[in-house]
Chain A
Amino acid sequence: MERAGIQRMALGKAVNAGLRAAMERDPRVLLMGEDIGKLGGVFRVTDGLQKDFGEDRVLDTPLAEAGIVGTALGMSLRGYRPVCEIQFNGFVYPAFNQIVTQLAKMRARTRGRLTVPVVIRMPSGGGIGSVEHHSESPEVLFAHTAGLRVVAPSSAHDAYWMIQQAIACADPVLFLEPERRYWEKGDVDVDLAPGEVAPLHRARVLRTGTDATLVAYGPTVRLALDAAAAAAEDGSDLEVVDLRSISPLDVDTVAESVRRTGRLVVVHEAPTFHGPGAELAARIQERCFYSLEAPVQRVGGFHVPFPAARFEDHYLPDVDRVLDAVEAALAA
């Protein structure tokens, strides 16, 4: 069905369009980051925005991540809504102190008197054959920090809407963009009314199935869908849930699915050790232990530093590893 508001665009372009929409709607939305102005960002996500909104609203900052987040916090106290770009996932750590000790805690520290609506965008995950610190999945570090929200769009449509929702949110939000999916095109319905947009922290069932539930977010959603398609050829009917949000977690949607399928496989690029899959497994067994027909399976990165590019295919979950996990779940 053709709708007027449907635009086909790459995920990175969708973030750009979402940022533009937010900036047009609210003059207090600012972008801050390294090389985001004239260059448009190393992934070109902010392409053209400085030209259209000026240097006061799209700031090419000094090369200092703590500075980006710390000054963004200060500007938010003055009523601004800064959106920070961290150039690569592994470069967020210099800002870790500001994120964890200041941004996350400011509201609790002041018992609700100060809110700090700062968004921190960063490319996340691997798969682009890059050098060290460019392929990490640091979501758990932030999800484990109370006061932060962590979301991860997997599609152009979600990228467009979720960045606007993150900017509108009164809490600080870590916005993880799947870097290897920046160029994947999808349909974006840009004409949705506010009530028609899925809530920021609601998981979404992308494919219904009866035999097992595959849960993924960000870059592994495409992988989960591919695995489900491959499994279908072998006669297994898998349900795929896009988690969309890591903090908070929409456990309800996953539990509802698992009650029907009886089996759960969680797929992410972050290490499985103390990873989101572990949290989800624990919560699911609390909620629907007697619906589970098999142990929860987890597929993710290993508990080793992200390897050099030539090895990343061995580190990152792929269809075979997902199907192995599905097989184990179905065999139990």
Chain B
Amino acid sequence: MSLLVDAVVLARKDIRVELRAGQAFGSAAALAGIALILIGLAVGPQPERLRSLAPAVVWIALLYAALAVAERLEQIDRSDEAFTGLWLVLTDRRSLFVGRVISLSVALFLLQLAIWVAATILLDLPVRPEYAGLVLVATFTSLAAASVIALVSAVVADADRRSLLVPVALLPLLVPTFIAGVQASTALLDGRSSDGLLWTGAAAVEAGLFIGVGLLAYESAARPD
């Protein structure tokens, strides 16, 4: 039980820091906005084509935003030896992982919904009842992505050429979540609810797998020297 209690406390700490400073979410949202506009410009003013590409556009924007959020949260932890302090105090250090997954999931969930709203306006997407399913897609894909990001960020925290390494180490591992997210939202946008549900299920399985791996391996990854 103490694992979850500690994790929630840590997640609240992350979220409170973010609410006060607003740097991670703000810069990530700005990055996502730029990505949306750039991809729109690259495709050209062809409404049909843009609409069919919408899920891919949203997800590419989200991946870049996710990298920004991960980087910022890791910086907060590693500054002032804050992480070492937490490491020494906690009885079950897996709570560091769970806490980070919770705070990252919340950030990614909100980002995903914000990007969908922006994409709906910019790409002129028709709003359908199936859109509600995007909330479920966002929930599970955020959990899956957050667990991978939390674990890999810990692995590369002190690596050389960190800023280059994070995307190289992280993006390939996020591909399954990316595929599930794109396929689920494409299905929902096309009105194929059952396909959307299947892909959402795939995202849920991925989330379960990565959380499981994270619980087992995080302590080895994050231990300060």
Q: Do A and B associate with each other?
A: no
